[in-house]
Structures are given as C-alpha cells and as structure tokens.
Structure 1
Amino acid sequence: MHSDTTLIELFSYETGNKQLSDVINVKLAVKATVPFQTWHGNKRALTTEDVISGQWVKTCTAGYITELSFNQDGRVDEFRLFDRFHTKGNWTLEHGILSVQIMKGENQYQFDVVGNSDVNIHSAIERKNGRLHSYLKLMQIK
C-alpha cells in the first residue's frame, strides 16, 4: 500500500469517528491541514532494528491477539496468543512504514504499521483480501 494512503486512512480513523474509511473517500488534500500535521507530528519512522529486535503483540478492534516475530530475512511468524496457532508471512520496511502480509488459509491479510513517537504502541489499518478489515494496535515487547 502507498504510504500516503496508509497515513490518511490512519489519520481519518484516529481523529474521526473510529470507523474505517477507504482513501477513495478521503481527500489527499487533508495532508496539508493543521490537524493532520499535528497528528503526524506524533508519529515516527520505524527502523529495521525496531522491527527485528524482540517480539510484537498485535490486537485488533475485534479483540484478536497475536504474537509476531519478524525475521531479518523478511519472513514473519504469527502465533495466536493463547492456542499458538501458527501462520506465516513476510514484511518489508519502506520510508519508515512496516508493511506486513500474512496468509491464513485462503485469506491474505495486509497492513502497514505507522510508528508512534511517544510510546512503542503503533497502529495500522488491516485489509483482508484487499478490502478494509480492521484497525490494529501493535506493541513492541523487548
């Protein structure tokens, strides 16, 4: 996903009515607004060291909780927190945004993680099979 799309969708969710909005419905001009600049000022670029140092916990608005392990070679292992069901995927880091793709059966999940500058609790908008699916919070555990 394009980083502008990620930022605008997250801004819309985190500062709006807490509903997912496809970027098609959100004008790109929003990036020039003071509220966007204020929101964006509380974000930061993630680094490779951030990604691969330690485990991550991912939770979504539906209450699912998983543990993620990012390998240096671009692979990611995801385990449901309580029953340890294992899924796999891959990750990349571009312009400080962590892009993750995970396959679960016939479903493909994709999300782009935007770093938080105040605490190591980051956020993302997840797509399932290309469609908006959920708002995520991801925490780095060291």
Structure 2
Amino acid sequence: MQIVSWLQLYLRESDGAPIQELSDLDPALKQSTQFHDWKTSKREVRLDEVVDRCWIKSCTAGYITEVHMHADGTLDEYTLFDRLHTNGVWDLVEGVLQLTIHKGENTYQMSIVGNRNPAIHSAIEYKNGQVHSYLKLAAISQ
C-alpha cells in the first residue's frame, strides 16, 4: 500500500500545483512553518467514519463515485450515475484511510488524510504505482 506523502498533498493543497513525484520533493519543506500550519488543519480518520459507511469520491477530472466500506475491510465502488462496479479493500493505518481499488488490469491506491473543517478529506491517487490524481472524499450519512 502506498504510504501517504504529506509533502505531495501539502504542495497540491497549498499551491494548487500539479502533483509532484516523490523523488522531486524537497524534504526540508517539512521543517517550514507553512507546512506545520497546514498539517494542523488535518486530523485522523476515525473507524466509526469508515465501517459500514458510504463515501463520495471525486477527482480533479470530475469523475465521481460512491465507495461503500464494509466491516470486513472490503469495499464496493460504483460510478455515481451509470453504476459501474469495482471492488477493493480498505485499512485504517494510524488515522490514515488506505484504499486499494481494482478496475480491470489497473490498481488504484490512495491514502486519505482527514481534514478538520470541513470534513471533506483529501488524497493523492496512484494508478499502477504512478501519480494519477488529486481526490476529495467525504463520508455521507446513511
């Protein structure tokens, strides 16, 4: 599972910059006041927000899905309007929600970081191990 890159997410959210590859990031940015301030706006995702809940997932290209998280660690994803189905697994690791979704020959992985306010969370998505998209996600009440 891809581990969240706080720096990738920080640069995307603070500068609106295109997502940078991990190898291009300057680790010294982690020492900046701006990075620290941004990180305090984040929070851990809680288990009660995940188990048996549905989340809406959207990417910068406008692709919108609903993701149903099951108590056994599996998930079902459906496109919002035409109901195409994919599946995968989830895990909550130190407050970061890790998803792996399989679509045909492709594997998508993301590490979802909680946002304090509003509770619209974010992630960098990888397709087959390569940076793919910036995501916004939110749990919905059922």
Query: Are 2:3 and 2:111, in contact at CA under 8 Å, matched by a contact in 1?
Result: no
Q: After TM superposition, give the deviation of residue 53 of structure 1 in Å.
A: 5.0
CA RMSD of aligned residues (A): 1.1
Uncovered stretches (5+) of structure 1, i.e. residues with no partner = none
Uncovered stretches (5+) of structure 2, i.e. residues with no partner = none
Q: After TM superposition, give the deviation of residue 17 of structure 1 in Å.
A: 3.7
1:103 matched to 2:102? yes
Q: After TM superposition, give the deviation of residue 116 of structure 1 in Å.
A: 0.2
Pairs within 5 Å for 1:21-32: 21-32=20-31
Query: Are 2:52 and 2:68, in contact at CA under 8 Å, matched by a contact in 1?
Result: no
Which residue does the alignment assign to 2:81? Answer: 82
Q: After TM superposition, give the deviation of residue 74 of structure 1 in Å.
A: 0.6
TM superposition outliers: structure 1 runs of 4+ over 4 Å: none
Deviations 1:98-133 (CA, angstroms, capped at 9, x unpaired): 010000000000010000001220000000010000
Q: After TM superposition, give the deviation of residue 29 of structure 1 in Å.
A: 2.2
Deviations 1:72-116 (CA, angstroms, capped at 9, x unpaired): 111011000001111000011111100100000000000100000
TM-score (ref. length: structure 1): 0.94
| Range with bigger deviation, 8-17 or 89-98 | 8-17
TM-score (ref. length: structure 2): 0.94
Which residue does the alignment assign to 1:2? Answer: 3
Q: Structure 2 vs 1, CA of residues 38 and 53 (structure 1 numbering), >3 Å: closer, same or farther?
A: farther
Q: After TM superposition, give the deviation of residue 2 of structure 1 in Å.
A: 2.5
Give distance in 1, aligned partners of 2:18 and 2:51: 31
Identity within the alignment, %: 43
SS of equivalent to 1:12: helix
Which residue does the alignment assign to 1:61? Answer: 60
Give distance in 2, aligned partners of 1:121 and 1:2: 20
Give distance in 2, aligned partners of 1:24 and 1:134: 17
Which residue does the alignment assign to 2:93? Answer: 94
